[in-house]
Structure 1
Amino acid sequence: MYWSQKGPVNTNETIALAVKRARELSIDHIVVASCSGETAKKLIGKVPYVICVTHHVGFTAPGEDEMPPGMREELAAKGVRLLTTTHLMGGLDRGVRNKFGGVYPAEIIAQTLRILGQGLKVCVEIAVMALDAGLIPAGKEVVAVAGTGTGADTAAVILPAHANHFFDTKVKEIICKPREF
């Protein structure tokens, strides 16, 4: 499915398609990018395991957590597993670039994935991050859900590899994404 526009207008349909495909393929884990927790909430009760990957604390401002107070507890109480950490493709390389300039391998990989859209780049990234954190099983396909900015507009079936074997990651299916991004 291809959306005519990017962004949160596609969130509900993206979630519906992601859940439908996960069920068709007997995939138990959906990994979702959600900084506020709102997109993750939409998945509660729809699949056995929801893993919510957020921006790291300090992404927007030093010490600032984008997730509203109480949301982590609410999600965790409903069985959502949360991962808040430095992003796979935006860690030390970005710090070096910000300080000294230049382009580094992780950012080249990220830019390459963005030729298919920001959402697909994030889907790959969060699937690998969740695997590295031990929140999803190794060797199993997951459905990843992400967006362009807020909400969700992209979903994909991914067989993630650990970061130290990143290029063994496989994007098996693109369930939906915006045509314009």
Structure 2
Amino acid sequence: MEFRRLTINDEKLFMEYFNAWGEEQESIVPSATNFKRYKSFQDFINNLEEREKSYEVLNTTLFLIVDGKIIGSSNIRHYLNEFLMNYGGHVGYGVRPDMRGQGYASKILNESLKFLKSLNLEKALITCDEENIASRKVILNNGGVQDQSHIREDGGVTNRFWIVIK
């Protein structure tokens, strides 16, 4: 198992992963991995690298690779702005549809928390839509303590959880 950044040499690996999202490609999580936003794989890799150096909120995108297949990914925000305090939190993660329900989301969140610890964060805000029961379970299984929810402009509810990073 690996949890790492992609390189230009990972194009075939990534394209298999992206195609596995099928009809869910437009709503792929994290959104930074939506390949349709980029002109080429090189542009995609360059964008992910740039996000770590010069971006409104510095962030790192890492991929969980098991047995030569990308299972899921995580976009880890190094700090929070007002928007992320209400909606996105420190970590946005997703698992390809054909690999869900096997514990990979918990592994991705756990590895993301380790990365945040390397940035000297003591706690992380993780959010999910109220109706996303699977994500709620993942957050709770990783030590999440629910904070006040945020009601979005569309009337939906974003649940907010804090996890103490150990």
| TM-score, L = length of structure 2 | 0.31
| TM-score, L = length of structure 1 | 0.29
- RCO (CA 8 Å, sep 6+): is it higher in 1 or 2? 1
